[in-house]
Amino acid sequence: MRQFEKSFLQQEALPEAAIESAVEIMRSGRLHRYDATPDNPGPTALLESEFAAYQGSSYCLACASCGYALYVAMLAAGVKPGDVVLCNAFTLAPVPGAINNCGAIPLLVETSSGLTIDLYDLEAKADQADFLLLSHMRGHLADMDQIATICQRYKITLIEDCAHSLGAWWGDQRSGNFGEVSCFSTQSYKHLNSGEGGLLVTDNPELIAKAIILSGSYMLYDRHLAAPDPSEMTRFAKTTPNYSGRMDNLRATVLRAQLPELDTNCARWNQRYAVITEVLAKVPVIELPDRNQQERFVGSSIQFLLPGLTQLQMTAFVSDCASRGIQLKYFGSEEPHGYTSRYDSWEYLGQSYILPATQQRLNCLVDMRISLTFNLDDCRLIAEIISEVATAHG
């Protein structure tokens, strides 16, 4: 029986330029973002400018994580304790966690056959909230034209969670350019790797001013480059608390070195994704989620469903794949583990959600990382092993 030997968790090494610049920063001792000089704004401020330019946004703030960036984004957008925030039911724990951190209440929305937020359920619940935290979970983009229409109709402020959609587009607009504010993750298993990190972008000067101060600017906000005039920030300096969560120069410098390679890497992920889907699409028991023509996603992971299998059979399928070296994550497990906590394990929210469509999809949904350390032959082998195991269980 064929076996896959490589690790699903192994990342590619960082580019040499990242390693060299990290060593340089460590030699300088200037790790704190505000340890800058008049002629050298430091890598964090430069990263913010470069990322804003990449994204086509006016402003950017680098944070300690995407979960933190989402928290600050919501506060700066006006989310208050007790507010209701609409959010996908199919997302990962940091998303409801960020809402909870604001003292707000997530109102979970059902999942479509494309694994995006269900637009009918969203519209049905839209009059109950002023905010939507839209998670482009695993890089699946909802119909952004319809999302924009619903948000306009119900006067909802859109916050995009682009942790999994950096480099993706909806039509001719980048994911992250639809919301009032959007957040990206640079945690190791995302599209840029600094171990941990988050990037917040917006075109709203008041929102970024508040976000910068919330992130802990120690009244040094005039050192930001991807920011409005300091007078804009002075307006909020005394009325906005410091919830320290800055990015440091070490992480920023390794991210700067990766940014020029981002689009090439997105294309490399898509090549691997195409090889895997070509094989899986031919397996009768496997269903691939719908993808809209407008969606130009980044295939850094793949999700598929086996709707004919019971939860018990799904568990056996995942375990048989594991015994042949294929690490799949199963979203239907009763108990959360790995990265797969699901809505019914967020007991701290104190709500019981009835989400039959989401439940049905998660019960037969598996998820697999696509590492750039896999070559195209690896991807073919992975898909063929999955196909063999699925066919045996089907």
Which residues here bind ligand PLP, judged by CB under 6 A? 65-67, 91-92, 94-95, 135, 137, 161, 163-164, 185, 187, 198
Name which of 92 and 168 has its Cβ closer to ligand PLP.
Answer: 92
CB of 133 to ligand PLP, least distance (A): 9
Of 319, 320, 331, nearest to 365 by C-alpha is: 331
CB of 153 to ligand PLP, least distance (A): 26
Name which of 154 and 243 has its Cβ closer to ligand PLP.
Answer: 243
Q: How far apart are CA 187 and CA 190, in angstroms?
A: 6
Name which of 167 and 228 has its Cβ closer to ligand PLP.
Answer: 167
Q: How far apart are CA 135 and CA 151, in angstroms?
A: 15
CB of 337 to ligand PLP, least distance (A): 15
- The answer to whether residues 256 and 247 touch, using CB atoms and an 8 Å cutoff, is no
Of 146, 372, 140, nearest to 132 by C-alpha is: 146
CB of 97 to ligand PLP, least distance (A): 8
296-335 per-residue burial string, b: 16 or more CB within 10 A, e: under 16: bbbbbbbbbbbeebeeeebeebbebbeebbbbbbbbbbee
CB of 280 to ligand PLP, least distance (A): 22
Name which of 135 and 157 has its Cβ closer to ligand PLP.
Answer: 135
E strands in 100-156: 105-109, 131-135
Of 377, 202, 390, 225, nearest to 314 by C-alpha is: 390
Name which of 94 and 228 has its Cβ closer to ligand PLP.
Answer: 94
Name which of 21 and 165 has its Cβ closer to ligand PLP.
Answer: 165
CB of 311 to ligand PLP, least distance (A): 23
Q: Transcribe 304-349 into DSSP letters.
A: EE-TTS-HHHHHHHHHHHHHTT---EETT-SS--TT---GGG-GGG
